[in-house]
Structure 1
Amino acid sequence: MQSRVRATSVATIAAAVPFLGWLAAALVALVSLRMGPKEGLMIMLWTLLPGIYYWVTGGSPGVVVGQVTVGLMALMLFSGYQLSLALLAGAGVLIGVALSVTWLPPDAEQFLMSRLVDFQSLQSSLGLDASAIGQVKVQVSALLNGVISAVQWVMTCLSLFLARWLQSALYGPAEAFGQEFRRLQLPRWSVVAAIVLGFLASQQMWLLPLLPVLMGPFLIAGLSVIHGIFMLRGWSSFWLGGIYVALIFALPEVSLLLVLVAMADSWVDFRHRLAPPRA
């Protein structure tokens, strides 16, 4: 952080190395959070160069999407916006990406779909004709693109959280990020918007990719509710770790539960209701 050249060099190299895009995004976010839009944009532009090269040569757009999204969220936080609005803005970017960008080349997509769904067994067991199976494949392809977009959003959020934690650890106050995360609550309008968009996506196939991304902010907010309640009640962190283990081994079920908790919290405010009475 003491040298723009050093920060730019490290971030650009990280962006150019496969699987280190998250580190480049964290550096872009940290510089943006600490030094503002001018310095953050300068470093982000350098990290975009290898990302654009990968994209135009047939690779993944992940580096470009990650840098732009984390830069937007970090600059919103620097400008005083709440974390909830920054996360929703990032999700909005990824919804646009999910609807307009194809993450996988056709061969890779077909291979992955064949591993996820046994279309022959599905056709024989349900008695579907070739046209119906084609429709199923289109739906699975759309959802797969949405899932990849949602994973990209989660990775971008983790880079932002890492930068926010480093900012509080290096420059203080030390507990700032933890308190900010435990207070995360999505606005009520976002719940209504998610329900409306979810309904529209169920009626319009071209909107299917946005469904997995829609769940992302509520998944993070649900984890925030759990963290906040554990802190307020003084419960053991052992059981908190158990929730993350359950999230790994029962991802769909636990994710849905956390999404529902976050949606309800926007109206009920569990942390306020479950907080111990003040002396």
Structure 2
Amino acid sequence: MRGPLQAMLVTAALALVSLVPILGVVSMLSGAALALVTLRHGARQGITVLLGAGVITGVFMYFVFGAMALGFVFLLLWLPLLLLALVLRSSASWSIVIDAATALGLAGIVVFYLLTGDPVQFWQNVLSQMVELMSAQGGGMEGMETIQNQLPMFSRWLTGMLAGALVMGQILSLMVGRWWQALLYNPGGFRQEFLELRQSRLAAMVLLAILVLSLPDLGGVSDMAGDMMIVMVTVYSIVGLALVHALVDRTGRHVGWLVALYLFLFILPPQAMLLLASAGFADSWVNFRRRLSSLQQKSDDDRNDNQ
């Protein structure tokens, strides 16, 4: 918040730190820094920081690794985040932001299918080359054979998994940036926004349509719909998480319920995400928060009548 140069340096530095394998999660903070600037100061400063941080990372990668283009990969990750931050800044609606992030993820899958023709074959070729390279560098033959046998399964789901991970990363970065903004200028504001996060019935109908297309064997259409379902489940798991936080808050439950939930997410992430996504999907139709408020109001009215 002190100025564009400081924001560029922080954004670029966090991005470069995230290149360390065990510190990849730091990339989320890099995006959050960009999101904070955009949310607070708008598109002009957001674009300035994005381009400046991109140049810094590119120059650093050139002098260290001799490949400037690698540094500008971050621009491809920051640009959608900048757009989502502008959507949130103008709408102040997380539901609209989630819809926009989902649309970007689904559009990315469509474009990838159009560019590659057959994403499964594309990933098989890429992964096969990686396995061969690992084998040439001294990997155990038995282990390499096992990996080689599993390539078709990995290739089938890799497009959707990458798209889902990118969409989740964008949303989480934006949430951290919004949280920082609230800490500085509106304490408690982000918490209230997060607790109210839910999706519309229209979004739920899109999920149903994609699910229907993914079930029959329609070749590339079903494959694409299957990848899209991974993105939808990822997005709705975030919505479901917000729902659980809201219900725990409104019912006064112990924080241990949330601790148990996050442990479940850590130990069995696919199962936990599917369960949360189901809860978020159901909330689009039922609106559990409103029903809970109605029940609490009815209970209070009955108590007052008895008195």
Length-normalised TM-score, structure 2: 0.74
Deviation digits for residues 122-181 of structure 1 (CA, Å, limit 9, x no counterpart): 9xxxxxxxxxxxxx92x6414112112211221222211111111111111x11101100
Give the C-alpha shift of residue 45 in structure 1. Answer: 2.2
1:41-60 aligned within 5 A: 41-49=47-55, 50=57
Q: Look up the SS of the partner of 1:73 in the other structure.
A: helix
**Bigger helix share:** 2
Q: Does 1:154 align with 2:168?
A: yes
Equivalence for 1:170: 184
Sequence identity (%): 25
* 2: CA distance, partners of 1:62 / 1:248: 29
Give the C-alpha shift of residue 44 in structure 1. Answer: 1.7
Give the C-alpha shift of residue 259 in structure 1. Answer: 1.1
* 1: CA distance, partners of 2:95 / 2:155: 30
Change (3 A) 1:99 1:175: same
Equivalence for 2:35: 29
Matched letter for residue 161 of structure 1: M
Aligned residue pairs total 260
Matched letter for residue 273 of structure 2: S
Of residues 257, 270, 279, the one that matches 1:239 is: 257
Equivalence for 1:266: 284
* 2: CA distance, partners of 1:51 / 1:145: 26
Q: Does 1:6 align with 2:6?
A: yes
Change (3 A) 1:259 1:189: same
Equivalence for 1:38: 44
Q: Look up the SS of the partner of 1:209 in the other structure.
A: helix
Q: Look up the SS of the partner of 2:45 in the other structure.
A: helix
Deviation digits for residues 20-43 of structure 1 (CA, Å, limit 9, x no counterpart): 432221111000111111111211
Q: Look up the SS of the partner of 1:247 in the other structure.
A: helix
* 2: CA distance, partners of 1:12 / 1:271: 40
> What's the RMSD between the two structures over aligned residues?
3.1
Of residues 148, 155, 172, the one that matches 1:141 is: 155
Q: Does 1:73 align with 2:91?
A: no
Which aligned segments of 4 or more residues in structure 1 are displaced greater than 4 angstroms? 51-54, 56-62, 101-105, 108-111, 117-120
* 1: CA distance, partners of 2:222 / 2:148: 19
Give the C-alpha shift of residue 81 in structure 1. Answer: 4.3
2:5 touches 2:49 (CA, 8 Å); kept in 1? no
1:99 touches 1:209 (CA, 8 Å); kept in 2? no
Q: Does 1:248 align with 2:261?
A: no
Equivalence for 1:217: 235
* 1: CA distance, partners of 2:75 / 2:277: 28
Q: Look up the SS of the partner of 1:12 in the other structure.
A: helix
Q: Does 1:86 align with 2:106?
A: no
Change (3 A) 1:266 1:243: same
Change (3 A) 1:228 1:215: same
* 1: CA distance, partners of 2:71 / 2:200: 33
Structure 2 unaligned segments of length 5 or more: list them: 113-118, 132-142, 302-307
Deviation digits for residues 195-244 of structure 1 (CA, Å, limit 9, x no counterpart): 11232234324413222112122111101110000000000011111011
User: Quick check: which has more Rg, 1 or 2?
Assistant: 2
Change (3 A) 1:218 1:255: same
In terms of mean alpha carbon deviation, does 204-213 or 245-254 score higher?
Answer: 204-213
Give the C-alpha shift of residue 63 in structure 1. Answer: 2.6
Matched letter for residue 24 of structure 1: S
Give the C-alpha shift of residue 118 in structure 1. Answer: 7.0
Give the C-alpha shift of residue 95 in structure 1. Answer: 2.4
Structure 1 unaligned segments of length 5 or more: list them: 123-135
Q: Does 1:63 align with 2:81?
A: no
2:51 touches 2:75 (CA, 8 Å); kept in 1? no
Equivalence for 1:125: none
Change (3 A) 1:237 1:169: same
* 2: CA distance, partners of 1:258 / 1:221: 8
